[in-house]
Structure 1
Amino acid sequence: MPKKPAGRPAPVAPDLPTDEDDLQRSPAPPAAGGAHDGELFGDDLDLSGVDARDARFLGCVLRPGRADGLDLTGARIVDSRLATLAATQTRWRSSTWRDTELRECRVGALDLSSASWTRVAVRGGRFDFVDLRGAELTDVTFEDVDLRDVDAAGARLTRVQFTGCRLGHLDVHTATLSAVDLSGSELEGVSGVGDLRGAVVSQVQLTRLAPLFAAHLGVRVR
């Protein structure tokens, strides 16, 4: 029997109150190794330079405004939301995210190398450089996001959809893709076209990528 298609990403709906202000407002930034349950880290907190490595967040909302250098390395974020976060660079590598939403965040350089995302939605915002090397993304949606440069070399992407996004440059060298839908976004450049197997592109995108496919296959076009 033929293998069933992987399908679209599962919907993302963090288990949070309708009114975020019903959460307990945290008087202090998150701490390294800390456990945070049902807390609101609001715009009265500047999370710039905060070390929250290996912290645990369950049912939390982080909307701090500034968060330059916020370190979430090894953190676990479940049923949570990050909103209106602004940073020149952040370190979130080897972190685990599940049933979580990022909304209208603006980050210069985002390190998500070796991270694990399951049922995550990124809605709006801008990311100048996203490092996804060695990361694993399953049931992830990007909606109306400005992504200037995405390095997904060696990553594993399953049911990942880009809708209404601008993708400036996408590197998929040695990546494993399954049901990765790029067709609903603007795609300007790709590295590693030979590893695009498992991706869905539009007719316009295919036309633009044709010279890269030809070069990869060693085909001369006159």
Structure 2
Amino acid sequence: MASRTFGHVTVTTPDLDEPGLYLSVVETLDSPRDAVQDFTYGDVDLRSLALTGIRLITGRVSDVRAKQVEFEALNLHGVEITSSDLGSVRWSGSKLTRVHVRDCRIMGAALDGMVLDDVLFEKCRFDYAGFRKVRAAGPVAFVGCALTEVTFTDCDLSDAVFSDCGLELTEFGAGRYRDTDLRGNDLSQIRGVANLAKIRIDSGQQADLAQALVDELALTLGDD
């Protein structure tokens, strides 16, 4: 099995090039059997992509461009998603296990009630997305991602790692962030500083958090 280490977590990622594994090309991710396994799917332009109650097991999704995306109870295991544009995605009630999402645009997404276990988001754009009741049940890492004006609400991101991410006006709402690793990021423009108890930072980020708190509270600094 392949793995990547970021900070204090090691994420197990899909190994889709292992000897003896053959992925069949499929024309759709929907299935009357409610499962698609050992597959490769991609290089398509779609007006909409809607999947409900489907399990995707051991496969690769690449170069998918869809204007509207609706995923409900879509569970992924051992899946790689690359170079895709999932416009206005609404993704709810799902579990992702051993999933690698790379070089994707997931801007303005609504991600609700998702469970993440061994999930790596790498070089993805999540700008203006909303994460609600998303739980890290195992290793989770955001690496080199753009998270401008993203909101996290009622999430459990304990032990998750954010590395080299853009966190401009990213809002960490009420939730659990114990040992969430924010080292290696500019934190000066984040929101919800008071909710980030017990996170991990390095010594150089103390000034960032102080600046973020001053801006959030609209404090006026002066000598008179």
Whether the 8 Å contact between 1:8 and 1:179 is mirrored in structure 2 is no
Whether the 8 Å contact between 2:167 and 2:190 is mirrored in structure 1 is no
| Cα distance, 1:161 vs structure 2 | 0.8
Whether the 8 Å contact between 1:56 and 1:77 is mirrored in structure 2 is yes
What residue identity is the alignment partner of 2:197?
R
What residue is the counterpart of 1:86 in the other structure? Answer: 85
Whether the 8 Å contact between 1:148 and 1:166 is mirrored in structure 2 is yes
Deviations 1:54-113 (A, max 9, x none): 210110111133022222221100111111111331111221101110010012212212
For 1:208 and 1:101, how far apart are their aligned partners in 2? 30
What residue is the counterpart of 1:109 in the other structure? Answer: 108
Whether the 8 Å contact between 1:182 and 1:200 is mirrored in structure 2 is yes
What residue is the counterpart of 1:3 in the other structure? Answer: none
Percent same amino acid among aligned pairs? 21
SS in 1 for 2:177: strand
For 2:32 and 2:173, how far apart are their aligned partners in 1? 34
What residue is the counterpart of 1:57 in the other structure? Answer: 56
For 1:214 and 1:129, how far apart are their aligned partners in 2? 23
What residue is the counterpart of 1:17 in the other structure? Answer: 17
Deviations 1:116-146 (A, max 9, x none): 1111001113121222111102311111111
For 1:215 and 1:65, how far apart are their aligned partners in 2? 39
What residue is the counterpart of 1:36 in the other structure? Answer: 36
Map 1:99-178 to 2 at 5 A: 99-137=98-136, 138-178=138-178
**Structure 1 unaligned residues grouped into runs of 5+:** 1-6
For 1:172 and 1:32, how far apart are their aligned partners in 2? 39
- Determine if the alignment matches structure 1 residue 187 to structure 2 residue 194: no
Deviations 1:13-59 (A, max 9, x none): 2142259x94100023435872111111121x334412112210110
Give the TM-score taking structure 1 as reference length.
Answer: 0.84
What residue identity is the alignment partner of 2:25?
R
Give the TM-score taking structure 2 as reference length.
Answer: 0.84
CA RMSD of aligned residues (A): 2.7
For 2:186 and 2:212, how far apart are their aligned partners in 1? 17
What residue identity is the alignment partner of 1:63?
S
For 2:33 and 2:8, how far apart are their aligned partners in 1? 35
For 1:169 and 1:215, how far apart are their aligned partners in 2? 11
| Cα distance, 1:171 vs structure 2 | 1.9
For 1:33 and 1:93, how far apart are their aligned partners in 2? 21
Deviations 1:162-182 (A, max 9, x none): 111111122222111121111
| Cα distance, 1:203 vs structure 2 | 3.5
For 1:48 and 1:34, how far apart are their aligned partners in 2? 22
**Structure 2 unaligned residues grouped into runs of 5+:** 1-6
SS in 2 for 1:16: coil
SS in 2 for 1:17: coil
Distance 1:86 1:32, change over 3 A: farther
Whether the 8 Å contact between 1:147 and 1:168 is mirrored in structure 2 is yes
Distance 1:190 1:63, change over 3 A: same
For 2:115 and 2:209, how far apart are their aligned partners in 1? 29
For 1:32 and 1:186, how far apart are their aligned partners in 2? 47
Deviation larger for 24-33 or 71-80: 24-33
SS in 1 for 2:45: coil
What residue identity is the alignment partner of 1:206?
Q
